[in-house]
Structure 1
Amino acid sequence: MKQLSIRNKIVLAAISLLPSLTCIPAKSQEVIKLDMDKALEIALSENPTIKVADKEIQKKKYAKKGSYASLFPQISFSADYNRTLKKQIMYMDMDLGDAQIPGMDNSGMQDGFEVGRDNNWNTGFNASMPLVNASLWKSLSISAVDVELAIEQARSSKIDMVNQVKKAFYSVLLANDSYRVFKESYDNAMENYLDVKKKYEQGTVAEYDLIRANVTVKNSEPNMLQAENSLTLAKWQLKALLGMDLELNIDCEGRLTDYESELFGDFLSTDTSLINNTNLKLIDLQSKQLEKTLIMQKFDFLPTLSMTGLYQWSAMNNDFKFKDYQWNPYSMIGVTLSIPLFTGGSRFYKTKQTQVSIDQLKLQREDTERNLQLAIKQYMDNMSTCIKQFDAAQKGMEQAERGYLIAQKRYDTGAGTLLELNDSELAMTQAKLNFNQSIYNYIIAKSELEKISGEQKF
């Protein structure tokens, strides 16, 4: 009885734990549904590269605001203390005539006398403000170009990220469709094997057909497993781009056949201009920045005018009785004119270096534009080829499916052989893979073309 009661307690405890145990796998197996728009939204909000680009824009905007501060008065407070170790000796020259003063002759003081006190204190405010500084004014426009450059670099990062996410998403769809094809091939092989096995047991087919059908099943299984592994790897790559935990389960909605309509309609209306190309825009902004820098360097040859002022208090004493100190105020305001005359040619050679950099960027832009035009022609040619491949693959798939049905009926009626059935099934599998691959190649080429044209939407 005692053993029975212990056993009952164990059973009751196990039953009480069942709800919590069943909840764990349900939570871990929760699947996140993703379509293309949702994937792009996550990537543009969670990917570290995009966040860094946005922070760079924010940093440049702060730098621009900070550059305007140089136009306003710069005010500072200072305080200093000096301890006199050896006092200064002062001499005085003067014409005394017939007068006689101890320690002095007609030419003046001979021994001199010490001046100053042991402790010297100074404290007060200093202010300065530029009045005329052409180089400084031009530097403000360069700061504005810095912000434009950062914004374009962020746009470039987003365009590149959108392209990567699209290709990763398309890779998942291709891997998923390929898995379906191989899974269907495996199911057909298994169905044929079971049918042949049944016929073999009835004595209507030879043992060779049974062995051949079994081999076909075994040969189909590795392809299915490889396709499943490719699907897992493609999902990992997509989750990494989206900044998601690799252990999360995701499911990409849609199939490659959903993009069939794009093969003909989008090809004719594809934008092949380079007006919005981010590489050319970045080069243009860099050239604009250098041109403004060149003007600023030329302005360094011009005079500058600034205003300064101060208000200070000073005290001198031989002890540290602060309450007895006498603080003497001192104030001053002035204008400073600075005219650059000679610096050894450093300004001149700086302008020459900047001009060379501008010429380099012009050559770089020409080469970049030429390569981009070549890439556009290549992608357009690839898209045209993919359309032809799609048309051929679609017809081939239709014929292969029809051939498989005929071979299956022939084998069922005894008019055909198992070899014919296997060959037709293999041809159908290859035709479906070619069909999916042609769509995938087209949308990948289209995504690359959108990246070059700068027409990626985000």
Structure 2
Amino acid sequence: MVYPTRIFPVERNKVRGYRMRHSACVMAATLALVVGAMPRTSWAQAALTPTASLPEGAPSPAVGASRAPVPQEKAAQRLTLDEALALAGKTSEQMSIARAGADRAAGAEQRARSELFPQLNASLGYDRTLDSEFSGVFDQSVAPCTPLNVDRSVPLGSRVGEIERALQECPPSADFFGGGGEEIPFGQENAWRFNLSFSQALYTGGRLSAQTANANALRRVASIDVDTTRAQVELDVAAAYFDAALSDRLVAIAESALAQAEATLKDVELAWKVGNQSEFEVLRARVARDSQRPIVIRQSSQREIAYLRLKQLLDLPLDQPLELAVDLDTVSGPPAQRFATALAQREAQLSDVERTVVRQAATQVAASDAGVRAARAERMPSLSLTSAYSPVAYQGLPNFGDFRPNWNVGMAVSVPVLTGGRLRAGETTARADLAESQARLRQIRELATLDTRSAYEDYLAAQATWKASAGTVEQAERAYQIAELRYKEGLSTQLELSDARLQLEQARANRAQAARDLQVSRTRLALLPDLPLTEMGAGAAAEQRQQQQQQMQPTTPQTQPQTTGAGAATQGTGAAVTAQTGTVR
């Protein structure tokens, strides 16, 4: 029998008594069916089970083989947002990359500045001659002869005759004039050379100073990039943190909806067995229950993805359980204590702030301008002072006194005469880089103003949504209380009560989503000066329009109430790592 949905006041008491008697009959019939369906062996097992008489907490006796040890789960790590931000600053790969870039830029600046100072290089070399073109030039196979011996006391003619005799008998060789030949440097088997070179640039046409200025500007650009990277990492971690917290709440909502569908199905099946409901109502309840299960599975998967994303940002083990110390029911205080001062200043006065990216672009313009000056200086002559001290020795293992000194000082002038257009091409490239950096600076200033205003508007919208959701939750709670009272009084059906409960869960889900959006927008507001600009391209605009269309869609009718709550949960966590984080860079 199907009860009418509208009951007149005159017949209310009569129908109420009838329903109470009918409910008692239904309960008795259900108990009889359940007891009759149980096998008798189960009664005996329940009565003869020895563990039934054991005291509470006592271990049960082993049956058959011993049980395998159960692996212990890891204890959940409680994590606050401040702890997550501190951990990300130490372990973030993006921060390591930014710091490495800053160190590289500092090294390039030091290398450019070093050319302004004197350069002194030392080297030591050893040569072993295996064969030489000078071998045998002064060594000829001749018969032994009497060496030249000039007596200064004899007349000039006698001395000249002695010289002529020596030339005829002793042809010129290494031992000519009685020498041994070891002092001649040509063709020596051993040669030790020590070289000490000195150079100092006196005039370069401004090239070295321009290169130093360029390197200094690039170092400041890399240092600013570390600040912007740190701010972006903190915003990503905060967004992932609140996404994970939101996913926990949405999973709980989906499981609550599934439990409600299960309870409704049991009530409808029981009423169908006693003949008070039709098979259509049973099928409808079963379809609603089965449709809710994939939603729970999907939300659980999205929660796992959200936590994996957070662990990846914090460089934590993927199997480490986490417990987030956050409450999305209330938004009191700053998202993290490190943002308290900056957030208070931003919330007190929403005005334009000096963006770090603008300062970085201006520094890049200075670097490009120095590059133009360096390219122009390539055409100028350069003057340098040089000196070389190169002692040499020809012994196998020479002593300090065996080295013969060789020292020279000079001046060098270098002037580019013909370079095939290389200098002109370098100057053209440098001027193009300067024009590009100047145009980029103007663009970044415009985008910085737009991005700042957009951040303020997002914050105001999130704050308004949060305040509006508070009234919605209160109304949904009041509606559920009325629906529960009506159901107890017999004035409404189970479907109406389920719809009121689901609307309450939806309002709470929207409240949690609004809390997440507000906390992320407040984090972005606190980090706004150091954050990089949000790219507002065609893809981002289309994504924003799609989100607006989804928000403007009407609520799904009560025939499929789970779709709205689960759909909102899917959009809240499924897009938590995609759409939402893309709008809070």
Q: Which TM-score band (shorter chain)?
A: 0.7 to 0.9
Q: Distance in 2 between matches of 1:125 and 1:207?
A: 107
| Residue 283 (structure 1) aligns with | 361
How far apart are residue 242 of structure 1 and its match?
A: 1.1
Matched, 1:425 2:495: no
Structure 1 position 308 matched with structure 2 position 387: yes
Alignment of 1:295-444 (within 5 A): 295-300=373-378, 301-315=380-394, 327=402, 329-340=404-415, 342-344=417-419, 346-444=422-520
Deviation at 1:339, TM superposition (A): 4.7
1:135/1:201 Cα in 2 relative to 1: closer, same or farther (>3 Å)? closer
> What letter is aligned with 2:404?
P
Cα distance, 1:349 vs. partner? Answer: 4.4
Q: Is the 8 A contact 1:56 1:150 kept in 2?
A: yes
Q: Does the aligned pair in 2 maintain the 1:192–1:213 contact within 8 Å?
A: yes
User: Which residue identity does 1:235 align to in structure 2?
Assistant: Y
Secondary structure of the equivalent of 2:491?
Answer: coil
The aligned residue for residue 188 of structure 2 is 119
Map 1:42-441 to 2 at 5 A: 42-70=87-115, 71-79=117-125, 81=127, 83-85=131-133, 117-119=186-188, 121-133=191-203, 134-189=206-261, 206=277, 217-259=289-331, 268-269=347-348, 273-278=352-357, 280-300=358-378, 301-315=380-394, 327=402, 329-340=404-415, 342-344=417-419, 346-441=422-517
* Larger relative helix fraction: 1
Contact 2:368 2:437 survives alignment (8 Å): no
What does residue 4 of structure 1 align with?
A: none
Instruction: Tell me the distance in 2 between the aligned counterparts of 1:428 and 1:441.
Output: 20
1:266 offset after TM fit, Å? 8.1
**Paired residues for 1:1-16 under 5 Å:** none
- C-alpha change, 1:385 and 1:86, in structure 2 (3 Å) is same
The one-letter amino acid of 1:297's match is A
SS of 1:127 mapped into structure 2: strand
- Work out whether 1:30 is the aligned partner of 2:75: yes
Verify the 8 A CA contact 1:177 1:255 in the aligned structure 2: no
Structure 1 residue 270: Cα displacement: 6.2
Change (3 A) 1:349 1:197: closer
Instruction: Assess if the C-alpha contact under 8 Å between 2:199 and 2:384 holds in 1.
Output: no
Offset at residue 401 of structure 1 (A): 1.5
1:306 Cα deviation (Å)? 1.9
Give me the whole-angstrom Cα distance separating, in 2, the residues matched to 1:282 and 1:265.
Answer: 26
**RMSD of equivalent CA atoms:** 4.1
Which amino acid in 2 is paired with 1:296?
Answer: A
CA distance in 2, matches of 1:151, 1:193: 63
User: Aligned partners of 2:349 and 2:381: how far apart in 1?
Assistant: 52
Instruction: State the one-letter code of the partner of 2:194.
Output: G
Measured after TM superposition, the shift of residue 412 of structure 1 is 1.3
Q: CA 1:211–1:346 in 2, change beyond 3 Å: closer, same or farther?
A: closer
Going from structure 1 to structure 2, the CA distance change for 1:297 and 1:79 (only over 3 Å counts) comes to same
Residue 134 of structure 2 contacts residue 186 of structure 2 at CA under 8 Å; is this kept in 1? Answer: no
Give the Cα–Cα distance (whole angstroms) in 2 for the partners of residues 170 and 444 of structure 1.
Answer: 7
Tell me the distance in 2 between the aligned counterparts of 1:260 and 1:202: 52
Q: Deviations over 1:404-424 (max 9, x none)?
A: 111111111111112211221
Letter of the aligned partner of 2:365 in structure 1? S
Cα distance between partner residues in 2 of 1:119 and 1:410: 118
- The match for 2:86 is 41
**Cα 1:233–1:116, aligned 2, differ >3 Å: closer, same or farther?**
closer
In structure 1, list runs of 5 or more residues that go unmatched: 1-9, 90-98, 103-111
Paired-residue identity, %: 13
Question: CA offset at residue 240 of structure 1?
Answer: 0.9
Query: Using the alignment, how far apart are the partners of 2:329 and 2:356 within structure 1?
Result: 30
Cα deviation, 1:338-392, whole Å, max 9, x if unaligned, reads 1525244543543343122111111112122223333333333333333333333
What CA distance in whole angstroms lies between the structure 2 residues aligned with 1:122 and 1:267?
A: 73
Question: Residue deviations 1:67-104, cap 9 Å, x none?
Answer: 45442432221325365325899xxxxxxxxx9998xx
**Which range moves more in the overlay, 148-157 or 255-264?**
255-264
Q: Secondary structure at the match of 2:329?
A: helix
SS at match of 1:119: coil
Greater mean alpha carbon deviation, residues 159-168 or residues 305-314:
305-314
CA contact (8 A) 2:79 2:323 kept: yes
Structure 2 distance, partners of 1:88, 1:151, is 67
Once the two structures are superposed, residues 172-214 of structure 1 have per-residue CA deviations (whole angstroms, 9 ceiling, x without a partner) of 111112223333444455566677788x599896577777666
Question: SS of 1:259's equivalent?
Answer: coil
Counterpart secondary structure, 1:256: coil
Change (3 A) 1:402 1:192: farther
Change (3 A) 1:412 1:212: farther
- Structure 1 counterpart of 2:75, which letter? E
Could you tell which deviates more after superposition, 250-259 or 161-170?
250-259
1:454 aligns with 2:530: yes
Give the number of the structure whose residues are more often strand, by fraction: 1
Q: Which deviates more from structure 2 when the two are superposed, residues 185-194 or residues 423-432?
A: 185-194
How many residue pairs align between the two structures?
418
TM-score, normalising length: structure 1:
0.76
1:372–1:75: structure 2 CA closer, same or farther, 3 Å change rule?
same
> CA–CA distance in 1 between the matches of 2:345 and 2:498?
39
Q: Distance in 2 between matches of 1:64 and 1:158?
A: 23
**The 10-residue stretch of structure 1 (442-451 or 398-407) with the greater mean CA deviation from structure 2:** 442-451
| Alignment-mate amino acid for residue 360 of structure 2 | L
TM-score, normalised with respect to structure 2: 0.61
Contact 1:159–1:451 (8 Å) recurs in 2: yes
Q: Distance in 2 between matches of 1:150 and 1:247?
A: 36
Tell me whether 217-226 or 400-409 shows the greater mean CA deviation: 217-226
Determine helix, strand or coil for the equivalent of 1:29: coil
Change (3 A) 1:202 1:435: same
Q: CA deviation at 1:254?
A: 0.6
